[in-house]
Amino acid sequence: MLKRPTSRRKSNAGGIQINLVPILDTMVTLIGFLLFTTSFIALVSIESPLPVIRPEKNQDLNPEQPLQLTLTLRENEVEISSPFHKIKPKTIPNQEGKADTKAIHESLLEIKKLFPKELTVVLIPSQFTLYDSLIALMDAARLMTATDPPIYLKNEQTGYDEPIKQLFPKVVFGNLLENS
């Protein structure tokens, strides 16, 4: 006696067809929404607090003079100095009309090694300094790059030495409140 043939052969060879049209509609709507709301330009920010003028009374209470690292931007050069002579002043000439941010960054790294707890840098731009140069200088003064040699600072809570993540993150404009 012959075996009964399997029922699979009898079944419809075409299979069930899913109606893709509503799914397509949803996809097109979703793409439209995403294209409309996505911003393709990523914005970042750099904060700078308003400089605070300390009264002379308070200055007398603190006998140890601060570093007050100052970057003075001139037409052809940038001077790195401390008004309290904590560091030797250094002048870095501009390269192709722009501040040599790489050399400035390297000089600031050396200063950071000497004063690892210092967080503030005072920026004194000239009236002709462009916004582009200001941002580039603030980046050079604030951020540590991947190629920078690590600088360690003891974490007082854990007692371990930890690498510093930022150079001088607090940028203050020194001549903001002065008369022009």
Partner 1 sequence: MPSQRGIQRRRQRKKINSTFELQLTSMMDALVIIVVFLLKSYNVSQNNFSTTPGLELPLSHSPETPSDSIQVVITPASLTVENERVLDFIQTAANPGSTNARYDFKKGDLDDEGRKVVPLYDALIKAREKTELLLSKSKVRINGKPAPFEGVLAVQADRRVRYDTIRKIMYTGSQAGYSIFRFLARKNEV
Q: What residues line the site for partner 1 (CB under 8 A)?
A: 20-21, 23-24, 27-28, 30-31, 34-35, 37-50, 125-132, 134-136, 138-139, 142-143, 145, 173, 175-177, 179-180
Cβ proximity to partner 1, 13 vs 34, nearer residue: 34
CA 28 to chain centroid:
37
Structure tokens, 161: 């030495």
Q: What is the dihedral of CA 111, 112, 115, 118, to 10 degrees?
A: 120
Helix (H, G, I), strand (E, B) or coil at 93: strand
Q: Which is nearer to partner 1, 19 or 157 (CB)?
A: 19
Q: Which is nearer to partner 1, 16 or 20 (CB)?
A: 20
Q: Which residues pair with 121 in a beta bridge?
A: 69, 171
Q: Which is nearer to partner 1, 48 or 95 (CB)?
A: 48
Quote the least distance from Cβ 119 to partner 1, whole Å: 15
Q: Min. distance of Cβ 45 from partner 1 in angstroms?
A: 4
CA distance 21 to 98: 58
CB of 159 to partner 1, least distance (A): 28
H or E element, residue 105: helix 101-114
Token pair of 30, please? Answer: 């979703």
User: In the complex, what is the shortest distance from the CB of residue 161 to partner 1, in angstroms, rounded to a whole number?
Assistant: 23
